Amino acid sequence: MIRYRSRQSLISFFLLILFSVFSVITLFPIFALIMSSFRPGTDLMRFGITMESLLNRDKNLDNYRELFFGERSLFNLWFRNSMIILMLQTSVTVFLTSLVGYGLAVYTFKGRNVLIGLVLILMMVPIQILILPLYKMMITMKLMNTILGVMLPFMLSPIAIFFFRQFCLGLPLELMDAARIDGLSESGIYFRIMSHLMLPAYGAMAILEGLRSWNNYLWPLIVLRTTKKFTIPIGLNTLLTPYGNNYNVLISGAVIATIPIIILFLMFQRYFISGLSSGSVKG
Amino acid sequence: MKIHSKTKRHLVPYMFVAPFLISLIFFYLYPLISTVIMSFQHIVPGEVEFIGFENYAKLNDEHFFIAIKNSFVYTTLTIAVLIPIPVIFAATLNGKKFIGSTIFRSVFFIPSLVSVVVAGTIVRLIFASPDGALINSLISYFNITPQKWLMAGKFHAMFLLVILATWRWTGINIIYFLSGLQTIPDELYEAASIDGANTVQKFLVITLPLLKPIVIFVTTISILGGFSMFEESYILWQGTSPSNIGLTMVGYVYRKGFQSGDLGMGSAVGLVLLVIILVLSIIQLLFWGFFKRSES
C-alpha cells in the first residue's frame, strides 16, 4: 500500500512538472509580446521578436506614449468604440439569448421543437456566408459605418441560445409552480426567481460573448469605413502594413487590447466552469 | 375574462422566444434566401441580371480548388490536434489529487482571450524571416536552417495556421471537456477500481464513452470553425499570400465579394461552403449515431 501511494505521488509530481512546462510554453508568446512592447518598433519591424528583444534591459515606455498621446494615433478612439460595443453587445446578447433559451426549456408550446431544431441547424451555418446580403442590407438601412450596424445582425448567437436552453433544463421547475400560486407573473418568475439561479450561465456566456464581440473582426471590417470609427482589432491591423513603420504602436496596442478581456475573464471566471458544466452536457 | 387570461398564458412562451424569431427572419432567413438568389445573378452597381448557373460554372477554377483544399486540410488537422490533446489534458486536470488544477485551467485558457489580430501579430513576429528571430534562432541550435516561415510554401503556411489554432483553442476545448467530465459520477470509477481496472482502462471504458456528447459538440463546432477560418490567414498574409498558400473558402468569398465586387460569385462560393459544412456535420452526427431514437 505504501509503495502504491509513493508511486501515485511520483506520477502526480511528474504530471505537475509536465503541466508547468506546457504552461510556460502557452504563456511564452504573451510574455514575448509584452517584453517586446518596451523595445523600439524599428527593431521589431526589421528582426521580429528576438532573444535580444526579450533580454535587453534597455526598455522604455515610448511605444505606449506614442500609442496614447501620439499626434496621429487614433487608439483612444478605437478603444472607446470597442468598449461601447463590448458593453452593449455583451449585455444585450446575454439577456436576449437567456430569454430565448429559457423559453425553449421551461415552456411547452406549439412549434417549440421546430425552433430547437432551427437553433441546432443555425449552429452549423457559417455566418461568414451571410455577410454579402447583410452588407447590402446595412447599406439599405443606412447603418454602414455605425456601431449599431456592427452589433445588430449578430445580436443572437445560436450557440448561446443552445447553451442557455441546456442550462435551463436543469432548473428546478417546481419553483415556477410555487411562484404561480403566489401570484407572480411569468416575467416576474424569470426576473425575480430564475434569473438568480442562472447567474453561472450569465457569467459563462458573458465571457464567451464578450470575447466574441471584443475580438470580432470580419464583420466590423466590412461595416466600418472611416478610421475614426474602427474597433481595436480593425485599427491594429491597419497598422500592419509592409510600408509603414507602425510596429511600435501596433505592439503596445496589442498588449492594451488584451487587458480588458482578461479583466472580464477574471471577473466572471468563478462562474465559468461551473456554468459551462451545468449547461453544455445534457442532451 | 378567463378566456382572455388563458390566451395570454399561451402567448407567454412566444414572448420569450420572440427575439429569436425576429433575428431568425431578418438576419438569417432573409440573408440566406438572398444569397441563394444572388448566386444566380450577375451583379454590377445599378444593374442585376439573372444568369442561371453561370456563377457555379465559374467555380471550376484553380483558386477555388486551392481554397477548398486548404480549408479541408486545415479543418482535418485542427480536429486531429484539438480533440485528443484537450481530452487527455482535461482528464488529467480533472483528477481529484491533481494540485493546481484551477490555475492550469486558467493558464491554458488565456490564449483564447487574445484576439486573432494580436495572436497573428505575435506569430508573425516570432516566426519572422531574419535568422535572429526567435524561432529561427531556436531551430538553428538544432542545426536546422532558418526558414522564411510565412513565404516558404504551403507546408510552412499550414504549419503556422495549425500552431496558431492549437495555441488559441486548446484551452477552450479543455474547458468544454472538463465540463463534461465533471458530470461523470465518481461511483463509476470506484466500481471500476474495485473490479481492478487501471487508469488507462477506466479512461477507455468510462471516460471516453460518457464524454461522447461533448466530443460531438466540439467536433461540430470544429468543422464549422475550420471551414469558416479566414481571419487568421488574412492577418498573417494581409490578404495576399504567395501562390494562395493561405487562401481559404471564406477568404475566397471575401476576395470575390468585396475585393472584386462580384457579389453573385461570392454568394455561390458561400453556398458551396454551407453545403460542405452541413454535409460533413451530418455525416459526423450519423457516425456517432446521433439521430438514433434510442440515444435521445
pLDDT above 90: percentage of residues in chain B:
58
Q: What is the pLDDT of residue B296?
A: 41
Angle between helices A247-279 and A2-36 in degrees, nearest 10 = 140
pLDDT of A282 strictly over 50:
no
SS3 B44: strand
DSSP-derived secondary structure for B139-178: HHHTTPPP--GGGS-HHHHHHHHHHHHHHHHHHHHHHHHH
Q: What is the pLDDT of residue B293?
A: 56
Q: What is the pLDDT of residue B103?
A: 86
Q: What share of chain B is helix, strand, coil (3-state, %, to 5)?
A: 75, 5, 20
CA dist B10 and B246 (Å) reads 53
Q: What is the pLDDT of residue A142?
A: 96
Q: How many residues belong to chain B? A: 296
Report the residue from B110, B224, B234 with minimal CB separation from A124. B224
Distance from CA of A277 to the nearest CA of B (A): 4
pLDDT of A243 strictly over 50:
yes
Q: What is the pLDDT of residue A9?
A: 80
Stretch (H or E) spanning B48:
strand B47-50
Report CB contact under 8 Å: B270, A273: no
Distance from CA of B49 to the nearest CA of A (A): 16
pLDDT in tens, A61-87: 999 999 999 888 899 999 999 999 999
Using only the alpha carbons of chain A, give its radius of gyration: 24
Measured between CA atoms, the residue of chain A closest to residue B130 is A47
Of A41-50, A106-115, A197-206, B67-76, the poorest mean pLDDT is in: A41-50
Residue A236's closest CA among B78, B276, B125, B117?
Answer: B117
Of B13-17, B87-91, B236-240, B263-267, the poorest mean pLDDT is in: B236-240
Residue B236 sits at the chain A interface (C-beta within 8 Å): no
CA dist B233 and B147 (Å) reads 18
pLDDT in tens, B21-43: 999 999 999 999 999 999 999 98
Phi and psi at B40, nearest 5°, equal -100, 10
Query: What residues pair up with B133 in beta bridges, in sequence order?
Result: A50
Residue A117's closest CA among A104, A98, A127?
Answer: A104
Residue A131 sits at the chain B interface (C-beta within 8 Å): yes
Highest mean pLDDT among A11-20, A86-95, B4-13: A86-95
User: How many angstroms from the chain centroid is the CA of residue B199?
Assistant: 31
Measured between CA atoms, the residue of chain B closest to residue A101 is B17
Report CB contact under 8 Å: A233, B115: yes
Average pLDDT over residues B43-49: 84
Report CB contact under 8 Å: A126, B227: yes
Q: Within 13 A of B204's CA, how many CA atoms are on the CB side?
A: 5
Q: What is the pLDDT of residue A242?
A: 62
Report CB contact under 8 Å: B19, A156: yes
Average pLDDT over residues B46-51: 88
> Could you tell me if A102 and A194 are in contact, meaning their C-beta atoms sit under 8 angstroms apart?
yes
Instruction: Kindly indicate the confidence band of residue A245, based on its pLDDT and cuts at 50, 70 and 90.
Output: low
pLDDT of B217 strictly over 90:
no
Q: What is the pLDDT of residue B1?
A: 41
Q: What is the pLDDT of residue B252?
A: 94
Report CB contact under 8 Å: B130, A36: no
Return contacts of A70-76, CB within 8 angstroms, 24+ apart.
A70/A249, A73/A249, A74/A227, A74/A228, A74/A230, A74/A235, A75/A232, A75/A235, A75/A249, A75/A253, A75/A256
Q: What is the pLDDT of residue B295?
A: 44
Of the residues B26, B27, B211, the best mutation for testing chain A's interface (the one with the most A CB atoms within 10 Å of its CB) is B27
pLDDT in tens, A201-225: 999 899 999 999 999 999 999 999 9
CA dist B188 and A64 (Å) reads 55
pLDDT in tens, A222-236: 999 999 999 999 999
CA dist B283 and A108 (Å) reads 30
Average pLDDT over residues A120-136: 91
CA dist A81 and B49 (Å) reads 39
pLDDT of A240 strictly over 50:
yes
Residue B24 sits at the chain A interface (C-beta within 8 Å): yes
Report CB contact under 8 Å: A129, B171: no
CA dist A96 and A170 (Å) reads 19
For residue A227 the three cell numbers come to 478610421
B170 CB neighbours in chain A (<8 A) are 26
Region of B80 please: left (phi>0), alpha (psi -120 to 50) or beta. alpha
Average pLDDT over residues B150-174: 94
A23 CB neighbours in chain B (<8 A) are 104, 107-108
Interface confidence, given as ipTM, is 0.88
A215 CB neighbours in chain B (<8 A) are 114-117
Of the residues A19, A132, A264, the best mutation for testing chain B's interface (the one with the most B CB atoms within 10 Å of its CB) is A132
Q: What is the pLDDT of residue A30?
A: 94
Residue A259, Cβ neighbours under 10 Å: how many? 10
Interface of A with B in 143-182 (CB under 8 A): 152-156, 159, 161
For residue B244 the three cell numbers come to 494562395
Residue B239's closest CA among B227, B229, B252?
Answer: B252
Size of interface A-B (CB pairs under 8 A): 275
Residue B125 sits at the chain A interface (C-beta within 8 Å): yes
Q: What is the pLDDT of residue A8?
A: 75
pLDDT of B292 strictly over 80:
no
Instruction: Kindly indicate the confidence band of residue A6, based on its pLDDT and cuts at 50, 70 and 90.
Output: confident
Measured between CA atoms, the residue of chain B closest to residue A207 is B113
Mean pLDDT of all residues belonging to chain A: 89
Burial of B21 (0-12, 13-18, 19+ CB in 10 A): middle
Instruction: Kindly indicate the confidence band of residue B241, based on its pLDDT and cuts at 50, 70 and 90.
Output: confident
**pTM to 2 decimal places:** 0.91
pLDDT of A111 strictly over 60:
yes
Residue A102 sits at the chain B interface (C-beta within 8 Å): yes
Phi and psi at B133, nearest 5°, equal -65, 155
Report the residue from A30, A104, A126 with minimal CB separation from B277. A126
pLDDT of A187 strictly over 80:
yes
Instruction: Kindly indicate the confidence band of residue A54, based on its pLDDT and cuts at 50, 70 and 90.
Output: confident
pLDDT of B268 strictly over 70:
yes
Residue A85's closest CA among A147, A160, A155, A152?
Answer: A147
DSSP state of B129: S
Phi and psi at B47, nearest 5°, equal -150, 130
Angle between helices B212-227 and B62-82 in degrees, nearest 10 = 150
User: How many angstroms from the chain centroid is the CA of residue A243?
Assistant: 31
For residue A74 the three cell numbers come to 487614433
> Could you tell me if A280 and B176 are in contact, meaning their C-beta atoms sit under 8 angstroms apart?
yes
Reduced 3-state DSSP string for chain A? CHHHHHHHHHHHHHHHHHHHHHHHHHHHHHHHHHHHCCCCHHHHHHHCCEHHHHHCCCCCCHHHHHHHHCCCCCHHHHHHHHHHHHHHHHHHHHHHHHHHHHHHHHCCCCCHHHHHHHHHHHCCCCHHHHHHHHHHHHHHCCCCCCHHHHHHHHCCCHHHHHHHHHHHHCCCCHHHHHHHHCCCCHHHHHHHHHHHHCHHHHHHHHHHHHHHHHHCCHHHHHHCCCHHHCCHHHHHHHCCCCCCCCHHHHHHHHHHHHHHHHHHHHHHHHHHHHHHHHHCCCC
Interface of B with A in 143-202 (CB under 8 A): 167, 170-171, 175-176, 178-180, 182-183
SS3 B108: helix
B92 CB neighbours in chain A (<8 A) are 15, 19
Residue A186's closest CA among B241, B5, B182?
Answer: B5
Average pLDDT over residues B11-22: 94
pLDDT in tens, A131-175: 999 999 999 999 999 999 999 999 999 999 999 998 898 888 888
